[in-house]
Amino acid sequence: MSSRTTWADTAGRYLPDRIASSLTADGGIDKTPYLYLLPALVVYAVVLVYPFIDTFILSFQRVTTLGGERRWVGLQNYEAILTDPIFWRASFNTVIFSIGMVFIPLVLGLVLAILIDTGVSGTSTFRSLIFVPVIVPLVVAGIVFGWILGTNGLLNHVLVTVGVIEEPMRFLNSTTWSLPSVLLMVIWKRTGYYLVILLAGLQGIPDNVYEAAKIAGKSRWETFRHITLPLLKPAILVTVIIGIIDSVKAFAHVYVMTGGGPSHSSEILATYFYKVAFRFFQFGKGAAYGFILFAIALTLSLLVIRLSGGSEI
Amino acid sequence: MSVATRVRDVVSGDSDVRTVTRVGTLLALSVATILVAIPLYWMVATSLKTSVQIGVFPPYIVPPTPTIDPYINALQTGPWVQWFLNTVIISGGSTVFVLAIATPAAYVLGRREFPARKPIYVLFIGILMIPAQILLIPMYTLFSRYGLINTRLGLIVAYSAFFLGFVVFLLHSFFTNLPDNVEDAARIGGVPEWRTFLRVILPMAKPGIATAAIFVFVFTWNEFLFALTFLQTEDLYTISVGLQQFQGLRGTVVYNQLFAMSTLATLPLMIAFALFSEQFIKGMAGLNLK
């Protein structure tokens, strides 16, 4: 047993840092780390990198059947998308969708986070309850909101009873209301998500910062504006970036509730992408479309990071 | 409430103001919670109504004669049990598979020094930036070549790849935060490295692994686009695809059944959340801040 007690003691003394542990006894480089990485890297290369490169190549080709013959067409696929009016309609809708998906839940989440951060008893229960929609399956959320917004639905009942409208409206079948209807569900589902990120940010601000502000005679608004908000910037930045990437990815939100209709009024980039690729079977065009999506998500995220002058991510 | 706030209250003596604020806060939070709960209440309420009752306008706010018939009818007439089973297999399989390959990777990336460590880590994180659907077409081609389209295994492989970056990222920070000299001590004692990893490091990392597992399970349970594209025969559908197809094919007459099954699809996630809400919320909040 004596040897067991000594190895732990001596270890710290003889090994100054962990760099030593990657060297074998004869001073060569230890290859075992690569063995640990191997399975993950194989999956990564085969299932992600290969298809990624293949998409890129495919985006310059025309192909009629999957796995069938491919023909080089240069930039035609990209041209076809960029001159497609429905693509621009979908882009415009995605901007609206993105704003709704990012800013409304952000403001609501921030207000709720500040209320919860006051530390009144029971507030962590509120946090958990408001978080619940985040884990509800998107398809379920879409179906439930579709039902609530239907002509026989709860919302129409409330609006008619209160007297806002005279008779039930077909929200999901209206070119004006289809996109806001989807956004209502999105806001419901995302506020809790942003809330927990922002709340973690708020709770990371030390109390003595507020003490100092109080002693300096700052008002509540000044404290919020000049102390809380700047310190919360990294957390806000995170919610904005996640929101942007997610809004470019968003698919089931619209697909389940409206399918992009009526007449493309709620079409967003991802739903139209799906139609191009898997309804119209234009795989080359679909691949080009995919890369345009990728470029948009990447550019917007980098832009947000740049504009806010932060490199915290 | 923090000590500082208490002290501040005592010193400044504005506890009356605090009471008003407190009541206002509770009220505002209660209203927010009720608004959040309404759709979920409506889902459960609708699932307990008869077909006749759901067609009525104005709708019954409370089911007049609550019945579990929609649950029984749906389970007896549709392939729902199969769909639930598929979802459990696919989510469970993905969770196990991705953790099996990502844990060793995250371990060496977080705790060992070797050439190319940083770039490899960045590669994994890069997955988080790619909108998954751009890989939909080539992945579909690749998988159909190897007979993985329209199989549960194909979806498990696809999900594992997508969550690889996320799990490596989550576990990496976890492994980095474990005490420094664990492996060195074990090695001096003559314990082979793989045994140290399995017997010492893994048990220490259990909370991190559990958090990652819950996330992957919930996200794959809810995934829709890839399940919709990859699974073509009805008996292979996941619950999300099943719900969506059922909604499209049947009329609104059976919406009580649709809502009954929606409730069942949400229930396992609610239970998981009730059991692990702290890990879940902390993971979700912390994850994005690093």
**Helix, strand or coil for residue B179?**
coil
The per-residue pLDDT for range B235-257, each reduced to its tens digit, is: 999 999 999 988 877 666 688 89
Tell me the residue range of the domain where B15 lies.
3-72
Residues B48, B121 within the same domain: no
Domain shared by B67 and B84, yes or no? no
Q: Is B142 on the interface with A (CB under 8 A)?
A: yes
Residues A141 and A280 in one domain: yes
Check CB contact of B191 with chain A, cutoff 8 Å: no
Domains identified in chain A, total number: 2
Looking at the domain assignment, is residue B169 inside a domain? yes
- Kindly state whether residues B123 and B199 are assigned to the same domain: yes
Range of the domain at A247: 78-307
Residues B30 and B141 placed together within one structural domain of the fold: no
Is the minimum CB–CB distance between B249 and chain A shorter than 8 Å? no
Number of domains present in the structure of chain B: 2
B244 & B138 share domain? yes
Using a CB-CB distance cutoff of 8 angstroms, which residues of chain B are in contact with residue A44? 123-124, 127, 161, 164
User: Hey, is the C-beta of B130 within 8 angstroms of any chain A C-beta?
Assistant: yes
Residue B216 lies in a domain: yes
- Contact state of A153 with B124 under an 8 Å Cβ cutoff: no
The alpha carbon of residue B128 is apart from the nearest alpha carbon of chain A, in Å, by: 9
Q: What is the pTM of this model?
A: 0.84
A202 CB-near residues (< 8 Å, 6+ apart): A113, A114, A117, A228, A232, A235
In a domain, A88, yes or no: yes
Residue A23 gets which letter from DSSP?
B
Shortest Cα distance from A136 to chain B (angstroms)? 6
ipTM: 0.86
| Neighbouring residues of B217: CB distance < 8 A, sequence distance ≥ 6 | B91, B92, B95, B272
CA dihedral A224, A230, A236, A238 (to 10 degrees): -160
Q: Name the residue of chain B whose CA is nearest to A114's CA.
A: B25
Same domain, B135 and B210: yes
Quick check: B251 and B125 in contact, CB under 8 A?
no
B35 and B135 co-located in one domain: no
CB-closest option in A67, A188, A211 to B36: A188
Query: Which residues of chain A make contact with B1, given a CB cutoff of 8 A?
Result: 119-120
* Closest alpha carbon to A127 in A199, A190, A228: A199
The answer to whether residues B169 and B203 belong to one domain is yes
Chain A closest CA to B127's CA: distance in Å? 8
Chain B hits for A122, CB-CB cut-off 8 Å, are 26
The nearest alpha carbon in chain A to B214 belongs to A135
Contact B101 A148 (CB under 8 A): no
Is A5 domain-assigned? no
Angle, vertex CA A44, rays to CA A38 and CA A47, nearest 5: 130
Strand, coil or helix: what is A217?
coil
Which pair of structure tokens corresponds to residue A205? 């601000």
**B176 and B41 in a common domain:** no
Map tokens 């686009």 to a residue. B225
The domain that holds A178 is classified in CATH as: 1.10.3720.10
Nearest CA in chain B to A211: B4
Shared domain for A182 and A35, answered yes or no, is: no
Do the domain assignments include residue A263? yes
pLDDT tens-place values along chain A, 313 residues long: 344 444 444 444 444 444 444 455 555 567 788 888 889 899 888 888 888 898 888 889 888 776 677 888 888 889 988 999 999 999 999 999 999 999 999 999 999 998 888 777 777 788 889 999 999 999 999 999 998 998 878 888 888 888 888 888 888 888 889 999 999 999 999 999 999 889 888 888 888 888 888 888 888 788 888 888 888 888 888 888 888 888 888 898 999 999 887 889 999 999 999 988 888 878 888 889 888 988 888 888 788 777 776 544 4
Task: Judge if A121 and A254 occupy the same domain.
Answer: yes
| In a shared domain, residues B19 and B92 | no
